[in-house]
Amino acid sequence: MSLPDKAFPISWDQFHRDARALAWRLAGANQKWKAIVCITRGGLVPAAVISRELGIRIIETVCVASYHDYASQGQLQVLKEVNPALLENDGESVLIIDDLTDTGKTAGIVRAMLPKAHFATMYAKPKGRPLVDTFVTEVSQDTWIYFPWDMGFTYQKPIADDQVK
């Protein structure tokens, strides 16, 4: 398994700040959200923060699994669909929350389920960006984001160490 060239590690503190920043943007949309549909697993943590900040009590999940390595995304499989009650009016007034849109494949599947929902994600890469309505930070396609739940506390060598070869 080859690791990506660009790494973007995110601490719990930074993740919480970014989730609150996303909530601020969504609060400014002058929309009354009736529910959140979070894409598991990555959307669970930001959905918890956003639901608290915006006072949204109904949180539903859609479970999409993709089996991949660091270089490519494999076949997608919907493991759990959205509650049919939220599909009414094509998901109008529903927030879809995820941590990241990468290739846009998962986003496309969920968007097709809820075409009128508002799709919000913390981080967006160029290929997935057109499917997202609101996001906090855009990163390059060749960057691998290391989320806080993926990491332990270990030494990180300086970027310059990789440059000098």
Cβ-contact 132, 109 below 8 angstroms:
no
Is 98 catalytic? The answer is: yes
Instruction: Classify 20 as helix, strand or coil.
Output: helix
Catalytic residue from among 5, 99, 133, 150: 99
Catalytically annotated residue among 102, 133, 142, 150: 102
Residue 104 annotated as binding? yes
121 labeled binding residue: no
Kindly name the residue from 18, 69, 98, 142 that is annotated as catalytic: 98
Binding site annotation covers 42? yes
In the residue annotation, 162 being an active-site residue is answered as no
Angle at 67 between CA 4 and CA 148, to 5 degrees: 55
**Is 98 annotated as a binding-site member?**
yes
To the question of whether residue 41 is assigned a binding role by annotation, the answer is yes
Catalytic-residue membership of 5: no
101 is in an annotated binding site: yes
> What residues are designated binding site for GMP?
102-106, 144-145
Give the residue numbers annotated as catalytic, written as ranges.
98-99, 102
> What residues are designated binding site for 5-phospho-alpha-D-ribose 1-diphosphate?
41-42, 98-106
> What residues are designated binding site for guanine?
102, 145
> What residues are designated binding site for Mg(2+)?
99
